[in-house]
Amino acid sequence: MSSTTPLLVVGSVAIDSIRTPFGERERSLGGSATHCSVAASFFTDVGVVAVIGDDFSEEDEAVFHERRINTASLQRIPGGKTFRWAGEYGFDLNTARTLDTQLNVFADFKPQLSGAAKRSPFLFLGNIQPALQREVREQADARFVAMDTMNYWIENTREELLKTIAVVDAMIINDAEVRQLAGEPNLIRAVRKILSWGPQMLVVKRGEYGAALFTRDSYFATPAFPLEGVFDPTGAGDSFAGGFMGYLAQADKIDEVTLRRAVIYGSVMASYNVEEFSCDRLRRLKPDEIRDRFHQFKQFTHFET
Amino acid sequence: MSSTTPLLVVGSVAIDSIRTPFGERERSLGGSATHCSVAASFFTDVGVVAVIGDDFSEEDEAVFHERRINTASLQRIPGGKTFRWAGEYGFDLNTARTLDTQLNVFADFKPQLSGAAKRSPFLFLGNIQPALQREVREQADARFVAMDTMNYWIENTREELLKTIAVVDAMIINDAEVRQLAGEPNLIRAVRKILSWGPQMLVVKRGEYGAALFTRDSYFATPAFPLEGVFDPTGAGDSFAGGFMGYLAQADKIDEVTLRRAVIYGSVMASYNVEEFSCDRLRRLKPDEIRDRFHQFKQFTHFET
């Protein structure tokens, strides 16, 4: 397949090993590109740009095919091993402790976009090295580009990161990262500072507390969906990004009404993703369930003036 | 004055000594009953039941009089000293470190409600010893009673606390207290557990993340007002309770529409309270400003379905 998809997702495809207070899984399909593209695939056609090794099984690949994700740019390195991450969550599920990271084929990942991939109008740059994110951004003709990042890049490659931030339209990052990146404990001031560096908007993920959207002249916030059974938080942020970007790409516009709905769809996808290991819940998800939870968001946030 | 007010507030009146990253104040009028009754006074007539010493100045008392709070049950103990609390906030303003506590006249506080006070239809039991809260609740004829508590009582007087919880209509507590009280890290499950002990509803305060209202069959949540300048978080929870209870007492009904609005008014009052030391901001607050922020809540939480 070499057709252009409305959304292109670049990032990691990983084989995770996960322990939570509720169970463990030795081999759990993960990675930012995986969680994001699977979530986005409920809204639009998605192409994924990532790298895998020989150990990536047919069963792993089936997850992409089931969701009709374009894998033309999912590069398999013969003799290589897929990126591995092992992590553990404590009782409150808020923070992962990394037990092991093996970059493997990801260490030499140098994404080269195909002609078809370059033409995707929406591009999500998952959490990878900021210089690579920028190289991809420069190859792409996308009219709307969003990026994620993490504390590691903020601490170790700050200058590269700032250059990348200057050339994207949106950042989708968590609140701790916003404060750390801006060096400012007040979230609102931290956001204003980052917006002054280039992006038109910041989407701030607050985990169990919800999400917020800041542009230069608007603000929107939502609580998270109230879940009694959070099982595995891995990929929550990436499935949020997938719902957000997938909905925008489907709508093919970037106005305030559409952006706010996209934040809710992102929240819906994250809420399902954390209910089971890996993409298990999303693999069984029905479009009706997405609509149901979207409308529940309306019900539990509505008040009369 | 011995008239019955729609809302009666029982709790502490304190002289605080506060350090924040932005400044310090040696003598700052505080206490749960103070912050709650001042916030509530913008919505309805309020009576306060608390105890003070000789060191409580005319200037301190003027704060209550300015807001026309009924102080007939504000008992002054000759020769006694007012409750003192000294605390310090770190750079993120999320948690107070207690530097000193002197109970003083508060150690022997045994609230006896006057005939007029007993007839108040709405009663807020601020954060005091749970056995005392229950004694007050038993004296009162109120048809809607809400209580707060804190980690100290959860740890040290659990049995008393559970008995008190069983005889109130609502708890207004923060999310860490909900988890601690229920012994359950998942907030939703923790709330269900506490609701099974008696109250009709829980109002969960989440600080900078907002607030949520749980009844047995409904859920409402709101983010907090986005503040660039949080100056002193002392009393945020009590001014929230004041806005919530004051609005309910004014509306004189307890349906879902009214309760949701009350959560927003609580959030509005807390957002103003933290902008300055003590009650300084609320002392200058105009009814228009409350309405403005209420409508801003609508704007920044609204999305189209």
Residue B227 has pLDDT above 90, yes or no: yes
Nearest CB to B223: which of A221, A300, A305?
A221
For residue B195 the two structure tokens come to 């609701």
User: What residue in A sits closest to B188 (Cα-Cα)?
Assistant: A228
The pLDDT assigned to B124 comes to: 98
Mutate to test the interface with A, among B256, B268, B303 (most CBs of A within 10 A): B303
Q: What is the pLDDT confidence band of residue A21, given thresholds at 50, 70 and 90?
A: confident
Helix (H, G, I), strand (E, B) or coil at A140: coil
For A156-203, write each residue's pLDDT tens digit.
Answer: 999 999 999 999 999 999 999 999 999 998 999 999 999 999 999 999
Sign (positive or negative) of CA dihedral B82, B83, B84, B87: negative
Enumerate the β-bridge partners of residue B20.
B23
Strands A211-215 and A219-222: antiparallel
Q: Indicate yes or no: CB of B228 within 8 angstroms of CB of A188.
A: yes
Beta sheet of A144-147, edge-to-edge order? A70-76, A46-52, A7-10, A122-125, A144-147, A170-174, A201-205, A211-215, A219-222
The 10 Å Cβ neighbour count of residue A217 is 6
pLDDT score for B85: 95
What's the mean pLDDT in A255-261? Answer: 98
Cα separation, A25 vs B289, in Å, equals 53
State pTM to two decimals: 0.96
Residue range B44-97, pLDDT digits in tens: 999 999 999 999 999 999 999 999 999 999 999 999 999 999 999 987 777 788
pLDDT at B91: 75
B2 has a pLDDT exceeding 80: no
Task: Please tell me which of the candidates B209, B219, B264 has its beta carbon nearest to residue A209.
Answer: B209
List C-alpha distances in Å: B49 to A186, B8, B63: 36, 7, 15
Cα–Cα distance, A39 to A247 (Å, whole number):
10
pLDDT tens by residue, A92-139: 777 788 999 999 999 999 999 999 999 999 999 999 999 999 999 999
Instruction: Verify whether the Cβ–Cβ distance B219 to A226 is below 8 Å.
Output: yes
Measured between CB atoms, which of A209, A257, A264 is closest to B206?
A209
Q: Which two tokens stand for residue A1?
A: 């397949």
Per-residue pLDDT at A261 exceeds 70: yes
B144: distance to nearest CA of chain A, Å?
22
Reported as a pLDDT band with limits 50, 70 and 90, residue A46 is: very high
Q: What is the pLDDT of residue B22?
A: 86
Residue pairs spanning A and B at CB distance below 8 A: 98
The pLDDT confidence band at residue A45, using thresholds 50, 70 and 90, is very high
Q: Residue A96 — φ and ψ, nearest 5°?
A: -90, 140
So what's the ipTM on this one? 0.94
What's phi and psi for A246, nearest 5 deg? Answer: -65, -45
Q: What is the pLDDT of residue A94?
A: 73
Structure token pair of residue B240: 């929230």
Residues from chain B contacting residue A293 (CB–CB below 8 Å): none
Angle at A206 between CA B276 and CA A91, to 5 degrees: 110
> Pairing relation of β-strands A122-125 and A144-147?
parallel
- What pLDDT is attached to residue B180? 95
